[in-house]
């Protein structure tokens, strides 16, 4: 009987690829290299590279740190829109990845006419 982690399912691999893509988009929007963003979030550059390539998933201790340090949200990481992402970063992400903008809710100000 073989020991170790079971093989990842197709769904697991797809999720890892999605998470990696979303993290890469954040890094690129912030104009950081992998070493710099890894230092900001407190992981080794090799770990960050593996996240971006979809070969490793952040563990349950790393995800809250990623969210806090990068000012992103768990729904964003998991493929939802930009809700919960810091405003300036959300604007940068939406400008580079318009498909994300479909989930942005902008509150419009109405101008009152004094007449």
pLDDT value for 5: 77
Alpha carbon distance 23, 29 (integer Å): 10
Alpha carbon distance 78, 112 (integer Å): 40
Q: Is residue 104 part of a domain?
A: no
Q: Domain with 67 in it: what CATH number?
A: 1.10.260.40
Residue 84 has what DSSP assignment? Answer: T
Tell me which residue has tokens 């809710």. 105
Q: Is residue 20 part of a domain?
A: yes
Which residues form the domain of 16? 10-98
**Minimal CA–CA distance to 73: which of 90, 60, 92?**
90
Q: Is residue 103 part of a domain?
A: no
Alpha carbon distance 113, 85 (integer Å): 34
Q: What is the pLDDT along the chain (115 residues), one digit of tens a residue?
A: 567 778 889 999 999 999 999 999 999 999 999 999 999 999 999 999 999 999 999 999 999 999 999 999 999 999 988 999 999 999 999 999 998 887 455 434 444 545 4
Domain count within the chain: 1
């Amino acid at each position: 009987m073989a020991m170790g982690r079971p093989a990842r399912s197709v769904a697991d691999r797809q999720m890892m690829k999605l998470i990696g893509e979303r993290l890469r988009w954040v890094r690129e929007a912030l104009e950081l290299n992998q070493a710099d963003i890894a230092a900001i979030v407190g992981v080794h550059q090799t770990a960050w590279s593996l996240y971006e390539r979809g070969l490793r998933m952040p563990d349950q201790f790393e995800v809250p740190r990623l969210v806090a340090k990068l000012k992103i949200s768990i729904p964003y990481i998991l493929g939802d829109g930009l809700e919960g992402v810091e405003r300036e970063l959300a604007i940068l992400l939406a400008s580079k990845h318009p498909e994300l903008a479909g989930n942005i809710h902008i509150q419009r100000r109405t101008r009152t006419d004094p007449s």
